[in-house]
Chains A and B, each alone.
Chain A
Amino acid sequence: METRELLWAEAMRAERQGDAAAYQRLLKDIATLLRKLVRHRLGQLGLQTYEAEDLVQEILIGLHEKRHTWDPDRPFMPWLFAITRYKMIDGARRLRRDASRRMDLTFEDLAEIAEAPAEDFDRTMLDLEHHLSTLPGGQQTVVRALAIEGASVKATAGRLNTSEGAIRVTFHRALAKLKAAALREKE
Chain B
Amino acid sequence: MMQATDDLIHSLSGHAGDSKGDAASLRRFLLGALFLSFAAATCLVWIVFGFRSDFAVMAQAQPFLFKVSGAVVLAAGAFLLVRRAILPGSGPLNALLLIPGTLPFLLFAVLDPASTDTLSAFWCSLDIALLSVPAFGLILAAMRKGAPTSPARSGAIAGLLAGSVASAAHALACHNDHGVSVLLWYGLAIVVLSGVGALLGPRVLRW
Contact = CB atoms under 8 A, between A and B. Distances in A.
A binds B: yes
A89 to B, nearest CB: 9
Contact of A60 (B2, B9, B15, B86): B9
Interface stretch (A66-74, A116-124, A137-145): A66-74
Contact of A19 (B10, B16, B20, B89): B16
A87 B77 CA distance: 27
B32 interface: no
A27 interface: yes
B19 interface: yes
Contacts of B207: 62, 65-66
A35 B12 CA distance: 18
B5 A57 contact: yes
A69 B87 contact: yes
B195 to A, nearest CB: 21
Given A24-B9, A65-B207, A70-B23, A18 B16 contact: yes
B88 A82 contact: yes
Interface of A: 14-24, 27-28, 31, 35, 50, 53, 56-57, 60-62, 64-72, 74-75, 77-83, 85-86, 90
How big is chain B's contact interface, by range? 20 to 34
> A-side binding surface: helix, strand, loop or mixed?
helix
Contacts of A77: 89
Contacts of A80: 89
Contacts of A60: 5, 8-9, 12
B204 to A, nearest CB: 15
B201 to A, nearest CB: 12
A176 B150 CA distance: 43
B146 A69 contact: yes
> B-side binding surface: helix, strand, loop or mixed?
loop
Q: 5 tightest CB-CB pairs across the interface, nearest first? A: A18-B17, A78-B89, A82-B88, A24-B13, A71-B23
B9 A15 contact: no
29 contacts: A14-B16, A15-B16, A16-B17, A18-B16, A18-B18, A20-B14, A27-B12, A28-B9, A31-B5, A35-B2, A50-B1, A53-B4, A60-B8, A60-B12, A62-B207, A68-B19, A68-B26, A69-B23, A69-B147, A70-B89, A71-B87, A74-B89, A75-B89, A78-B89, A82-B149, A85-B149, A86-B88, A86-B147, A90-B206
Contacts of A69: 23, 26, 86-88, 146-147
Contacts, number: 106
B26 to A, nearest CB: 7
Interface in B159-178: none
Contact of A27 (B13, B24, B87): B13
Contact of B147 (A17, A24, A83): A83
Contacts of B60: none
A19 B17 contact: yes
B81 to A, nearest CB: 15
Nearest to A80: B89
Given A18-B17, A70-B23, 14 more contacts: A15-B19, A16-B17, A17-B17, A24-B9, A31-B5, A53-B4, A62-B207, A71-B24, A79-B89, A82-B88, A85-B149, A86-B88, A86-B149, A86-B150
A38 B19 CA distance: 26
Contacts of A22: 16
Contacts of A71: 22-24, 87, 90
